[in-house]
Amino acid sequence: MATATLVTKPLPAHPLPRKPLPAGWPRERYESHNRRLKAMRLAIALLDTGVYRPAQAHNHKIRTTAAQIGVHPPSDTTCRLVRALLYDNC
């Protein structure tokens, strides 16, 4: 049986400087924005490993994938968002 391998590269140790977000947003908006970016990176990495359905993406699997691609372990809220991104209409 073939095993899935992670295709997504880990994030570099010193990423390129990011463009700052606009000033004046409420803190919750910044947190939500960053949470969605993290969830999207995790969803892409999970898709690369062959996880296509939300039922396959348990919190442990999502957190293991986060460690493999070099991002901080996601919260339960971020894990739910990752599963929502993997949602299919079947």
CB 68 within 8 A of CB 6: yes
Residue 35's pLDDT is what? Answer: 95
Residue 17's pLDDT is what? Answer: 74
Residue 39 tokens, joined:
């969830």
Residue 88's pLDDT is what? Answer: 65
Helices (H), 1-90: 27-48, 59-69, 76-85
pLDDT lower than 50: segments of the chain: 90
